[in-house]
């Protein structure tokens, strides 16, 4: 008899549970994971989507990092800080130009804040450190989205890493083609920041330039903290051009390049725009040396963004940015993280709001999108995107505008693969 009552009680309990499930059907949903199991997701409950961002908000690359951070936040503000029925919560951390700090911040974001993905960092040494940490987590990892060019070795053994802005091969290899075929230069010197960061942009350019038939007559590698470039500039050999990437110390380097008369011996071209040819660099030069800034106008460099693009996506971005920030000189660090956020938003929308790690990575890699930078997509087997690359140069803006110089587009290359531009 007791068994009969017990069985009846169990049946009644199951009936109540079933009725509750039906009643809540509009608020709950299930999704089939890659492994074939069925799980109740946070998406149906409207739980916040927590996103971590690691940037250098202070230190040598603080200006770039702050621009990246506010740009990413703008992308989510445009959609009301909500994807579907899930609010977006952004947690920003400062790596302060230190790789070990970047790793500590990543650990905090994952273990304490429970973020579903991390954007950044931007500096190359920090990229390797954080990518290595995420890879070490194995199945416990989460998507790591780099919004600026990614060093190809960082992808090794790491199924979580996403290169939303291509690789460090993409832009300098395009520039090699432009130097050789459009400018007609056959011999070059290079001046690049000593270490992995400088080599990541200078060496790919050199490789393609030599494949095309060009000759590198000399290379100099100033340390990142260099303040006097005289000893480096005076050792340059005669050549058609000087190829440069020197972030952080670019203002002083440009001033000495012009005032020492090196500019009269060989024109400068950029291996990469970042922190060397951006509008804020020209503004800093113009403040005390307007003659130098004017002499540097027209120096070509590769960039993933063309501020003067009239595409619908870029015009929408500029309108939103001006409404949020007022007048601004648009450069890559205003746009990279915005572009990566657009990729993330579209991928989460495709999952119906599901942000479990494996499903999110799969959705990201299946996403093609067009942001302010131009069309981008992932080819099968690649975790870095094919992107649009623009050759740009600074030109003087009308009197009274907040920034004295801004980019103009010289040439555009679409669909550049993460392996870089290949010499024909």
When the pLDDT of each residue in the chain is averaged and rounded to a whole number, the result is 89
State the pLDDT confidence band at 63, using cuts at 50, 70 and 90.
confident
pLDDT at 417 over 90: yes
Boundaries of every domain in the chain: 46-165+309-385, 170-303+390-416
| Top CATH class, 170-303+390-416 | alpha beta
244, 72, 151, 380 alpha-carbon torsion, rounded to 10°: -130
Can you give the pLDDT at residue 41? 58
pLDDT digits (tens, 9 = 90+) for 326-355: 888 888 778 999 999 999 999 999 999 999
Residue range 241-284, pLDDT digits in tens: 999 999 989 999 999 999 999 999 999 999 999 889 999 899 99
Instruction: Provide mean pLDDT across the span 77-81.
Output: 97
The whole-number average pLDDT for the span 360-384 is 96
**pTM as predicted:** 0.85
Per CATH, 46-165+309-385 and 170-303+390-416 having the same topology is answered yes
Q: Which residue has the higher pLDDT, 130 or 37?
A: 130
Q: How confident is the model at residue 60 (pLDDT cuts 50, 70, 90)?
A: confident
Q: What is the CATH number of domain 46-165+309-385?
A: 3.40.50.2300
> What pLDDT does residue 24 have?
40
pLDDT confidence tier of residue 394, bands split at 50, 70 and 90: very high
- pLDDT (average), residues 175-198: 97
Looking at residue 45, what is its pLDDT?
A: 77
């Amino acid at each position: 008899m007791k068994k009969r009552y017990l069985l009846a009680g169990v049946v009644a309990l199951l009936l109540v549970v079933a009725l509750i499930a039906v009643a809540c059907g509009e608020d709950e949903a299930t999704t089939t994971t890659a492994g074939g199991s069925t799980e109740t997701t946070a998406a149906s409950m409207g739980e916040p989507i927590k996103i971590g961002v690691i940037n250098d908000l202070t230190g040598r690359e603080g200006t770039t990092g702050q621009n990246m951070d506010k740009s990413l936040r703008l992308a989510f503000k445009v959609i009301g800080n909500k994807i579907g029925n899930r609010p977006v919560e952004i947690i920003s951390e400062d790596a302060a130009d230190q790789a070990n700090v970047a790793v500590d911040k990543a650990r905090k974001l994952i273990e304490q804040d429970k973020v579903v993905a991390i954007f950044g960092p931007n500096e190359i040494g920090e990229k390797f450190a954080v990518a290595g940490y995420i890879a070490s987590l194995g199945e416990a990892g989460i998507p790591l989205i780099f919004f600026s060019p990614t060093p190809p070795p960082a992808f090794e053994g790491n199924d979580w890493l996403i290169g939303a802005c291509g690789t460090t091969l993409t832009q300098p290899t395009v520039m090699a083609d432009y130097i050789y075929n459009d400018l007609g230069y056959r011999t070059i010197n290079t001046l690049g920041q000593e270490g992995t960061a400088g080599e990541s942009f200078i060496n790919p350019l050199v490789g393609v330039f030599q494949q095309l038939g060009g000759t590198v007559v000399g290379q100099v590698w100033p340390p990142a903290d260099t303040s006097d470039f005289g000893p480096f500039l005076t050792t340059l050999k005669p050549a058609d051009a000087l190829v440069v990437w020197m972030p952080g110390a670019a203002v002083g380097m440009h001033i000495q390049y012009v005032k020492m008369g090196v500019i009269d011996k060989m024109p400068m071209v950029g291996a990469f725009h970042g922190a060397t040819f951006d509008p804020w660099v020209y503004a800093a030069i113009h403040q005390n040396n307007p003659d130098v800034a004017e002499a540097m106008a027209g120096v070509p460099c590769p960039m993933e963004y063309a501020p003067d693009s009239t595409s619908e996506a870029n015009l929408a971005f500029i309108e939103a940015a001006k409404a949020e920030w007022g007048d601004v000189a648009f450069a890559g660090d205003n746009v990279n993280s915005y572009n990566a956020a657009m990729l993330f938003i579209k991928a989460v929308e495709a999952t119906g709001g599901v942000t479990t790690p494996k499903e999110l990575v799969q959705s990201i890699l299946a996403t093609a999108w067009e942001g302010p930078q131009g069309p981008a997509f992932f080819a099968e087997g690649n975790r870095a995107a094919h992107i649009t690359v623009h050759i740009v140069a600074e030109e003087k803006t009308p009197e009274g505008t907040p920034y004295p110089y801004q980019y103009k587009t010289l040439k555009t290359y679409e669909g550049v693969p993460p392996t870089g531009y290949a010499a024909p």
